[in-house]
Structures are given as C-alpha cells and as structure tokens.
Amino acid sequence: MQSELHRPGSRNTIVLAIAFVLLWNSGFIGAEYGLPYTGPFTLLFWRYLALTVLLFFYLLIRKRFHWVGWTKAAPHLVIGVLAHGVWLSCVLLALDREVPAGIVALVVALQPLATGAFSGMVTGEYTPLYRWWGLVIGFGGVVLTVLSRIDFSDADSIFGYLIPLVSVIAITAATLMERRMDLKEGKHRLSIDLSLFYQCLATTLVLIFPAVAIENLSTEWATEFMYTMIWLILAVSLGAYALMWRLIERINATRVASLFYLGPPVTMLMAWLAFGDKLIPTDIGGLIVVFTGVILTQIKS
C-alpha cells in the first residue's frame, strides 16, 4: 500500500500543508501589526463584521442562505462565541500587553492536547493514559515558559501571560461541542459555509458591546491597518480555513490537526523576522517539553 506521502498528488498536499501553516500562524503576526491602530475588541469586531457580510453575500449568490431555526442555530452561535470571540479576544489581549506572539502561540498549542485528552468524555470512547500524560507534560512545558517571563510585581504582566489559558479553555470547549454535534447529527449537520456564517454573526454581535463600551470603536484607518485587516480577513480567516478543509479532503482530520503543533516554532520565527522577538533558554526548553507531550499523544495504541 502506498503511503500518503507517495500517492499521486502528494506534492500538492505538501504545498497545501505548508501554505496552511504559514497563513494560519500569520494571524498572530497580523494581529500584532493591527493593534497599534485600534483596541483588541474593536479589531476583532471589524474583522468579524466584514466576514459576516462577505459570507452572507456568498451564501445569497450560491442560493444557500436560510434560517435554520433557533434550535439548530444555537449550538453554532455558542461555538462561534467560544471559538472565535473568546479565543481571539484573549489572544489579542495578551498581545496588547506585549506578550511575545510566539509565547501566546505556545500556550494556545495546549488546545489540541486538551481536546485529545477530554474527547473521551464527549464521545464515550476510552482515553488512553498516555494522552493524559501528554497533556500534563505539555502543560508543564507551558508553565516553564510562562513562569520564567512573568513579572509578578506587575499585575498587567500576570494578566497578559495567563489570559491565553482562557483561550485554550474556550476553543477546547467549542471543539468538543462540535465533535458532539458530529456524532449526534452526522449527515444532517449544517454545511460548513452556513455554519461559519452563524459563528461569525454571533461573534460580531457579542464583540460590539466591549468594542463600544470599552474602546468606543476608536480606530485609526491608516493604510497599514487596512492592509492588515484585508490580510486577516481574506488570507487568515477565509484562506487558511479553506485550505484546512481542502487538506481534510486529501488526508485524515487527525493528521491535519497535527499541523497545529507547528504553530509555536513557526510563529516564533515569524515574530523574530517581523518584530525582532528574541527567545530565552526557557522558551526553547518549554518548546521541547511541549513537543514531548505532543509525541506522547500521537502514539498509536
């Protein structure tokens, strides 16, 4: 039997995988470029308002837009708030407090580990002990990195380095909810584009409150900010998302999920090139420990 890497079209799959990793993780860098011109909540509000409008017109043109009723829409709305609103708000709040993008990426890399460990509670399947050990070891790597950088005399520093953990909790909960829907609804699930529309709509409606109340929607519409928003909307939110589903069609979802583990080193490299962010020895040590945890979770029983 041919391996997936040697099948026809495998070179295209590798190109797609590289493009996905680069586009997805450029979101951390793009957010850091955009924050000098507006606040975290306002940046996300404009981004998801634009996404909602684009998806609405796309669905109209394709004649696929329809209201599915509150019962069916509600889970997608909740997933949107958790997977987009809470997750990205916490990431941007950390970046706004000058936490290096690579360190934020390292913390949120716990999400696939946490999802793998807790998925048994949702699916009813047995979760092997090595997955729990992988999660514990991965968490230890993050703790090593974060504790060495926190200034415990500065409340802002403590908040900045710990808030990405809320991102992990939110995106893990959203992922587990989505898996549960997969098991219950199967082929009756909403199409990907319609589901994404509801998720973006919910995120926009929730974000407008802190964007207005805390930041007054204050935005400097500089050319650099406009380019950053175009990149975040088209390349990251739509481009990377589309590539992810193209990859899932070519290889299995588990292998696609493993690409997220490349996030921390890729983001650290991008942040070094873009902002001159420097690594300290505990960053490298934490990265090694986290990847040890990752390797444990990938062992096949």
pLDDT tens figures, 28-39: 999 999 999 999
C-alpha span between 89 and 98 (Å, rounded): 14
The domain limits of the chain are 42-220+266-297
Q: How far apart are the first and last CA of the chain?
A: 21
Strand-pairing partners, residue 38, are 219
C-alpha span between 283 and 103 (Å, rounded): 8
| Lowest mean pLDDT across 100-114, 241-255, 267-281 | 241-255
pLDDT tens figures, 212-238: 999 999 999 999 999 999 999 999 999
C-alpha span between 110 and 107 (Å, rounded): 6
**What count of Cα atoms within 13 Å lies in the side-chain half-sphere of residue 104?**
33
What is the pLDDT, as a whole number, of residue 4? 47
What is the pLDDT, as a whole number, of residue 197? 95
CA torsion angle for 89, 101, 239, 170 (degrees, to 10)?
-40
Q: Provide, for the chain, the percentages of residues in helix, strand and coil under a 3-state DSSP scheme, each rounded to the nearest 5.
A: 80, 0, 20
Q: How many CB atoms lie within 10 A of CB 185?
A: 12
| Conformational region of residue 139, where left means phi above 0, alpha means psi within -120 to 50, and beta covers everything else | alpha
Model confidence at 300: pLDDT above 70: no
pLDDT tens figures, 175-209: 888 877 776 766 567 888 999 999 999 999 999 99
Say which DSSP state 83 is in. Answer: I
| Conformational region of residue 189, where left means phi above 0, alpha means psi within -120 to 50, and beta covers everything else | beta
Total length of the chain = 301
What is the pLDDT, as a whole number, of residue 17? 86
Mean pLDDT on 149-158: 87
